[in-house]
Structure 1
């Protein structure tokens, strides 16, 4: 088995043979039940209840849509390729399942509709394709390619679902025919493709490193197994019979498994069990900004605690967050009266060094506006440094955080300590990346605490418009 990525916590102990056996038995029960219903049609009881069908499908779709949103948000925050593809898998299943819900007679149409009835196997198969892709090796250029394609993949998937819905309503082309019977070519072909993809996904997720702090890889393998069984049930199930209701329940169960596993994961990095190695513990080019209030200890000593709290809230609520959002940075941590912000390169955005420098100047400008109304409040010193840092997860199940570490970070912190009050000090790495677009004032080679070699520093005076 692949070794756990550095910094992601201890590996989970291998499952016992008894636990493996019970897992196999539990996952095999739905297939055994389906086989019994097929072999003994008299047991495949019919129950047609439109409201139950609608609400069951709606519940499964709502849970799935919530999962798609949560994973997509984490994918954007951590820029993780696997999470991008997992969110697309959830989105495909949720979207086409919503179309199937509309096939319930009396909801949107009075009768059956071919496109809406085929929506579920189509959605399961598309979701299976993204699931198999998400299980691949997505480090390095492979992951970078997925991140570049992500906006196009989302747009294409949403467009495909909308087109399918419109064509289904208009009943044009092949969707104008009567709804196909179970076990016919459309269902079988979709099931074969879906089963192949889900099988690949299950095998690969079972081979992923599993950590004591995250049950997600095993949970996803279980969920994909249930969805594969749902593909089989779609082929053999008879409308409004138990075999037909089974695949609805299997889909709902698969999504509930993921929800339970996610809830059991450490909340601050809930999806960390799925991160690629590059995300969990990889080296990246970053710019790190430290901002600290000079003289804050003396200020706190001479003022009421309520006023000190109001001061921090004014800075950390009204000044810093808008600037971070504007320049695309990520608040790594708040440390008393200091803040650490990380900038990375992202598609469609300016280079990280330029955004960090722009944020530093904008922060001082915004803080100056606040200080104009409160002349006795302490003022910021800001330090920025750019270079290679290790980006990933620190901690175990009892406390996990996503952060950057390394000399680049340490120097940024020391530069902040030497910056002029109300000014911005940057390191040589940042100055080199800014080139001629920045107005700089040399601060000389500074000796900083904890470092043998001196650090060349500059005061950032201005930044040309791009």
Structure 2
């Protein structure tokens, strides 16, 4: 990298050195007048200038064609610059004494500086950020004006009409000529700087060629002013012009040799608007070609129709046969790339859907749809292994008519059957669990097989996760609240010991009369009664979004606002408590056990309590203890709430003050209320 960074300035220095050599030669000839010898040879002069004019004609034609192709204003101005140089250099060559005229005249002397000045003006305009739409509207007038000036100059000059007939007119206009040359040199310098900035963004060889040519033309304008006619200094600017335009022509020729066409030679010179428009046009054309390639592969269009489409695009963009072939390969590569991206997206989607809570059936149905969409609508089936037999559920197939049986592949590698079906095994814990079948007319490529094998592996992991989560979810929900179970499945770190202080509403329910019942009943009858009562109590708590924390003998504890947050937790707890009493009243005998319930609200430490080997989700704190004491103070069938809970309930809740109660374990009394009826639950609760 360091060597490269040192090489770039070195090349710049060499480039600048070669461009400075003509000025050094001019200075040397002017400093040593004896070296600036006179060399007057009219045929050499004629052919040298005619060559430069011819080069400009060719460049003007090429640039004008490129400008018309994309309506590019910058290329139009550059083309006018070449045209101006071609016209006036041609006039300068024709005015060479001994060609059409017997002697020199003023038109012969002034044609070149005037042509170079006009070329500098047009090129400088191309380097500026002009309103390009306005330039395009003025283009016909600019072209006609340039041709008119050149035609008038040629008639006056070659016909020997005044004032250009006077051979001394150049000497008489030396002052204005110096001013024109100075302005032209300044314009060429501006062009060089602006095109250097553009070259740094685009790195076009043609931009570098135009930049170099402008430097050489600026030097030639200096020599025009300082060099006496037919001396070495005078010949110097002729050579510089020929080299400048020849350098651009050579770059165009090298580009043509490399590309095989002239359409893209001046692409680097175009305006940003044209560049963006062409990119969009090329993108749209490539998309159309990709669509045509897909249609051909699907049998919708023939090879001849595809050839016509390709030929039309080649004609539209001026492509050579080789470029057309490259475009076709690019379209095929783009189609393959997009297919690959779409199919990799299927892998990602199936991975995302292998999450907690997504049932196995849902996972597999979504997988079938995604595989079919991602693999160009190929037919897809999934077979599942159950009790040693492979079955194909109708919901897991995109083609109901596809009923052919496929044997479960041995091993983990996909197997391609003789009817264009690829069978990819599905496994759970490295044991066969099913098969993913994909049918495609024409068989499968190695990339298809590898990608489908990866997809089957991803689907196997999703299937294993779905079954595992289903088992864990069912197991957890038998021992804890659904909220706690879901939270632990989604984030196992929540099972760590510890917790946080949260305001909760605790509900304690205890069966009054259970001891007497136990003395008279069998163990089996006791279990049956507890399960019946706790079934009703649990359902009431869960219906209000509460969490059943634990069952202790004939007592139950529930929490609201933990682990999930509930702004109306006190009201939810009150409704749940009354729903428990109402449900139990419908099944309890007159002399049978009946719940008494205490409810209280306050801060508590909520979290996992226990040891590293065994832990329990619970809540601890004075507010929880008070709820337990209020339950002890309640009569069978009653719900007693603390003052902190009453303050959080709506005003229309029916309560009966019980005054201050002295409860066990507390030094101060507790204000309690007997709950009669809370506000009804919201309709969408």
Residues 284 and 13 of structure 1: CA distance in aligned 2, closer, same or farther (over 3 Å)? same
1:274 and 2:269 equivalent? yes
Secondary structure at 2:37's aligned position in 1?
coil
In the other structure, the counterpart of 1:199 is 189
Is the Cα–Cα contact under 8 Å of residues 113 and 181 in structure 2 kept in the other structure?
A: yes
Quote the residue 1:21 is aligned against.
Answer: 13
CA contact (8 A) 1:116 1:165 kept: no
Q: Is the aligned partner of 1:112 residue 2:104?
A: yes
Mind listing any 5+ residue stretches in structure 2 that lack a counterpart? 331-372, 375-685
Q: Which residue is equivalent to 2:205?
A: 215
The structure 1 segments of at least 4 consecutive aligned residues displaced by more than 6 Å after TM superposition are 12-15, 283-286, 288-301, 311-317, 332-335
Deviation, structure 1 residue 216: 2.1
Which TM-score applies when normalising by structure 1?
A: 0.59
Q: 1:127 aligns with which of 116, 119, 122?
A: 119
Aligned to 1:238: 228
Shift of 1:188: 1.0
The answer on whether the counterparts of 2:50 and 2:93 sit within 8 Å (CA) in structure 1 is yes
Equivalent in the alignment of 2:82: 90
Matched, 1:41 2:33: yes
Deviations 1:189-211 (A, max 9, x none): 22122112112111111111436
CA 1:257–1:81 in structure 2 vs 1: closer, same or farther (change >3 Å)?
Answer: same
5 Å-filtered alignment, 1:225-264, equals: 225-264=215-254
- Conservation of the 8 A alpha-carbon contact between 1:219 and 1:258: yes
- The answer as to whether partners of 1:112 and 1:179 remain within 8 angstroms in 2 is no
SS of corresponding position for 1:238: coil
The one of the two structures with greater contact order (alpha-carbon pairs below 8 A, sep at least 6) is 1
SS of aligned partner of 2:62: helix
Is the 8 Å Cα contact of residues 81 and 143 (structure 1) preserved in structure 2? Answer: yes
Equivalent residue, structure 1, for 2:153: 164
Asked if 2 retains the 8 angstrom alpha-carbon contact of 1:167 and 1:175, the reply is: yes
The alignment status of 1:137 with 2:133, answered yes or no, reads: no
Unmatched segments (≥5 aa) in structure 1: 1-11, 302-307, 339-393, 400-448, 451-466
Q: Partner residue of 1:54?
A: 46
Determine helix, strand or coil for the equivalent of 1:269. Answer: coil
* Offset at residue 144 of structure 1 (A): 1.1
Offset at residue 33 of structure 1 (A): 0.6
| RMSD of aligned Cα (Å) | 3.9
Decide which structure has the larger Cα Rg and report it.
2
Distance (whole Å) between structure 1 residues aligned to residue 40 and residue 19 of structure 2: 27
In the alignment of these two chains, the number of paired residues is 312
Aligned with residue 150 of structure 1, among 128, 135, 139: 139
Q: Secondary structure at the match of 2:20?
A: helix
TM-score, length of structure 2 as denominator length = 0.41
Could you tell me whether the CA contact under 8 Å between 1:210 and 1:273 is conserved in 2? no
Match of 2:23 among 18, 31, 45: 31
